[in-house]
Amino acid sequence: MGKITGFLEYERLAEASEAPEARKKHYREFVLHLSDEQAKQQGARCMDCGTPFCISGCPVNNIIPDWNDLVYRQEWRAAIDTLHSTNNFPEFTGRVCPAPCEEACVLRINADPVGIKSIEHAIIDRAWEAGWVAPQPAPRKTGKKVAVVGSGPAGLAAAQQLARAGHAVTVFEKNDRVGGLLRYGIPDFKMEKWLIDRRVDQMKAEGVEFRTNHVVATAAVGAGNAQARPVDPKRLIADYDAVVLAGGAELPRDLPVPGRDLDGVHFAMDFLPLQNRRVAGDQNVKDLWASGKHVVVIGGGDTGSDCVGTSNRHGAKSISQFELLAMPPDTERNPVWPYWPTRLRTSSSHEEGAKRDWSIATKRFVGEGGKVKALKAVRLDWSSGKPVEVPGSEFDMPADLVLLAMGFVSPVQSVLEAFGVEKDARNNARAGTEGKGSYKTSAPKVFAAGDMRRGQSLVVWAIREGRQCARAVDEFLMGSSELPR
């Protein structure tokens, strides 16, 4: 432990960020990582608890007290080695993770938690700047071949671990670029995309082969790519010793109310990837903009918040975000510590401006000449635990663009069916996570990880699953594995 009295002496410090009015004018990241001195003080706040709840709160079980202490002592090289021992991509989580570790931090009981995410961000950015993140090619090859389907954080983590164990790994990605939702989902202002390219270069130097524009089986929805070359699942099974399915959960939840088919009512994922493409410099991107429009975002989660931030940058006339559920409590402390609490969360995109409202059910969309012009909604009363429409509370809301951001129901089924993979009750790939045969599906030599196995989740969970799945595949191929779990 760095400083015994650190948590008494120093306040939690938020990372510096550009003011909302200024950052709304561009798509770049606007959060700066802590300076060395700031990170030192934040690391000093850690109490090195006998039972470090932060570690169990973190899905990749980052060894947080150790790197807090190393940063306090300014031993940055050892800090990145410790961080990398549990997390392949801290530059992703250091930017977009909701930080369940901070909800679990012991300081959270009666004070502000250690700024774990900001320390992680500082460690990894500094490590790249110092040139400490180098390729780690396997010392010897096994002669085994593994195909990974999907290049989101789960597929990338699995591929990197498997390559480091000496296997020949090929990643098949239906999109034109690698990264999954990190690339075509999460906006650039939350995470710039050169960060993915830099990791991909590292992985290529470690021997991973990427085949973009290759769709395994057929994928009817999601950020589809008509140009993608089809890959027959039977060929993968024949040509590879193991296959990892990491195709995400791309089937969006729909809102089948009258007027759904009007022009101007879109899934969030018809909208967000277009902006990622424009920022990447792509030409001929579909002409779907929020500029000058009354935008209504339906769904109160991360995806909805990203639609708000993007619409603000487009210059929308107004932005409203509706949530079906009741407004969660705005508690300062975590009432269910060390677990993840349901409470009001205000994202950086909300800070940039949006009218948020809760307990709202959309009844229909109203159009003119085939284009959406308004939506009709009603207020709900959740006091009985069930949604009850409040009599006389119906209202109209002008809307030229409606973005449906109500989550994702499951993976695209055709992919699972093409491999003959059994599904669980929520139509995800069925595979356990404990003991022998973990991450293994019902189909011979086929494994599954990330959102495709657990359903819609988080980047940090995808990394955990990719890492654990890699170990399971390594055990399957070699009889034992030295990869960490």
Ligand X SMILES: Cc1cc2nc3c(=O)[nH]c(=O)nc-3n(C[C@H](O)[C@H](O)[C@H](O)COP(=O)(O)OP(=O)(O)OC[C@H]3O[C@@H](n4cnc5c(N)ncnc54)[C@H](O)[C@@H]3O)c2cc1C
Task: Name the residues that contact ligand X, by CB under 6 A.
Answer: 96-97, 149-155, 172-175, 180-182, 185-186, 190, 215-217, 219, 223, 246-248, 272, 302-303, 306, 415, 450-452, 457-460, 462
Q: Least Å distance between CB 109 and ligand X?
A: 25
Q: Is 401 in the site for ligand SF4 (CB under 6 A)?
A: no
Q: Which stretch binds ligand SF4 (CB under 6 A): 77-85, 101-109, 305-313, 411-419?
A: 101-109
> Which option in ligand SF4, ligand X, none does residue 429 bind, with CB closer than 5 to 8 A by kind?
none
Question: C-alpha 176: how far from its chain's center?
Answer: 19
For residue 27 the two structure tokens come to 């798509």
What is the rounded CA–CA span in Å between residue 124 and residue 89? 9
Q: Is 70 in the site for ligand SF4 (CB under 6 A)?
A: no
Interface residue with ligand SF4, options 58, 64, 255, 473 (CB under 6 A): 64
> Which option in ligand SF4, ligand X, none does residue 65 bind, with CB closer than 5 to 8 A by kind?
ligand SF4
Q: Is 462 in the site for ligand SF4 (CB under 6 A)?
A: no
Q: Least Å distance between CB 347 and ligand SF4?
A: 23
> Which option in ligand SF4, ligand X, none does residue 46 bind, with CB closer than 5 to 8 A by kind?
ligand SF4
What is the rounded CA–CA span in Å between residue 288 and residue 270? 9
Q: Least Å distance between CB 161 and ligand X?
A: 14
Q: Is 105 in the site for ligand SF4 (CB under 6 A)?
A: yes
Q: Which stretch binds ligand SF4 (CB under 6 A): 105-113, 342-350, 359-367, 438-446?
A: 105-113
Q: Is 111 in the site for ligand SF4 (CB under 6 A)?
A: no
Interface residue with ligand SF4, options 63, 70, 99, 114 (CB under 6 A): 114
Interface residue with ligand SF4, options 49, 285, 288, 409 (CB under 6 A): 49
What is the rounded CA–CA span in Å between residue 352 and residue 317? 13
> Which option in ligand X, ligand SF4, none does residue 298 bind, with CB closer than 5 to 8 A by kind?
none
> Which option in ligand X, ligand SF4, none does residue 106 bind, with CB closer than 5 to 8 A by kind?
ligand SF4
Residue 205 vs residues 128, 139, 454: alpha-carbon distances, Å: 16, 13, 30
Q: Least Å distance between CB 49 and ligand SF4?
A: 3
Kindly tell me which of 116 and 297 has the beta carbon lying closer to ligand SF4.
Answer: 116
Q: Least Å distance between CB 69 and ligand X?
A: 26
> Which option in ligand SF4, ligand X, none does residue 162 bind, with CB closer than 5 to 8 A by kind?
none
Q: Is 48 in the site for ligand SF4 (CB under 6 A)?
A: yes
Q: Least Å distance between CB 64 and ligand SF4?
A: 5
Q: At what angle do helices 64-72 and 76-84 cross, to 10 degrees?
A: 170
What is the rounded CA–CA span in Å between residue 290 and residue 367? 17
Short-list 170, 112, 106, 120, CA closest to 144: 170
Kindly tell me which of 106 and 159 has the beta carbon lying closer to ligand X.
Answer: 159
Q: In sequence order, what are the residues at sequence separation of 6 or more whose Cβ sits closer than 8 angstroms to the Cβ of residue 473? A: 146, 158, 162, 167, 242, 244, 439, 447
Q: Which stretch binds ligand SF4 (CB under 6 A): 64-72, 328-336, 406-414, 423-431?
A: 64-72
Short-list 83, 120, 97, 119, CA closest to 10: 119
Task: Give the other-Cβ count within 10 Å of 368's Cβ.
Answer: 9
φ/ψ of residue 326, rounded to 5: -70, 155
> Which option in ligand X, ligand SF4, none does residue 265 bind, with CB closer than 5 to 8 A by kind?
none
Q: Is 54 in the site for ligand SF4 (CB under 6 A)?
A: yes
For residue 42 the two structure tokens come to 């934040």
Kindly tell me which of 64 and 460 has the beta carbon lying closer to ligand SF4.
Answer: 64
Q: Least Å distance between CB 95 and ligand SF4?
A: 19
Q: Is 53 in the site for ligand SF4 (CB under 6 A)?
A: yes
Q: Least Å distance between CB 253 and ligand X?
A: 12
> Which option in ligand SF4, ligand X, none does residue 64 bind, with CB closer than 5 to 8 A by kind?
ligand SF4
Chain residues in the site for ligand SF4 (CB under 6 A): 46-49, 52-54, 64-65, 68, 105-107, 114, 116
